[in-house]
Amino acid sequence: MLFYLEANMESNQFILIAIIVTSLATFISRFMGALTSERVSVKSKIFLWFNCVAYSTLAALLGRMIIFPAGVLAESELIVRLIVIFTCVILFIMTKKNLVIPTIISAILLSVLTNF
């Protein structure tokens, strides 16, 4: 019993340290961004580069979620996920870049196609 309490305390301390370190990393990067935001032009090459990196990271994460899903999404077939994503991209374009409608339709379509 004593070993369990000691291991549990070490685990709690580890979690607390992880939260503090990740919070510091987040807040430091945001603080540095706030300090340098006035000096960077929106049309500069460095700003465009960061924009490209952000969008490519997002595209990679979305691609990973579609091809190698985890959790409940893994229960659906790849073809179903591809049908849903293509349908929602078309809806996104047709609704003049509205995010709400494709998001709602994706949940409904995925649930309907997965259950049939």
Can you tell me whether residue 76 is helix, strand or coil? coil
**How high is the pLDDT of residue 84?**
94
* 115 lies in the same domain as 74: yes
Angle between the 45-67 and 78-94 helix axes, to the nearest 10 degrees? 140
* 74 lies in the same domain as 114: yes
Report the chain's mean pLDDT, rounded to a whole number. Answer: 85
* 18 lies in the same domain as 35: yes
CB 113 within 8 A of CB 76: yes
pTM of the entire predicted model:
0.57
Q: Report how far residue 12's alpha carbon sits from residue 62's, in angstroms, rounded to the nearest whole number.
A: 32
Write out residues in the chain with pLDDT < 70, as ranges. 1-10
* 75 lies in the same domain as 91: yes
* 115 lies in the same domain as 77: yes
Q: Report how far residue 106's alpha carbon sits from residue 103's, in angstroms, rounded to the nearest whole number.
A: 5
**How high is the pLDDT of residue 8?**
58
* 30 lies in the same domain as 58: no
* 61 lies in the same domain as 23: no
**How high is the pLDDT of residue 100?**
94
**How high is the pLDDT of residue 2?**
43
Per-residue pLDDT of 9-40, as tens digits, reads: 567 788 888 889 899 988 898 888 888 777 77
**How high is the pLDDT of residue 9?**
56
* 46 lies in the same domain as 29: no
Residue 95 domain boundaries: 70-116
Domains contained in the chain, number: 3
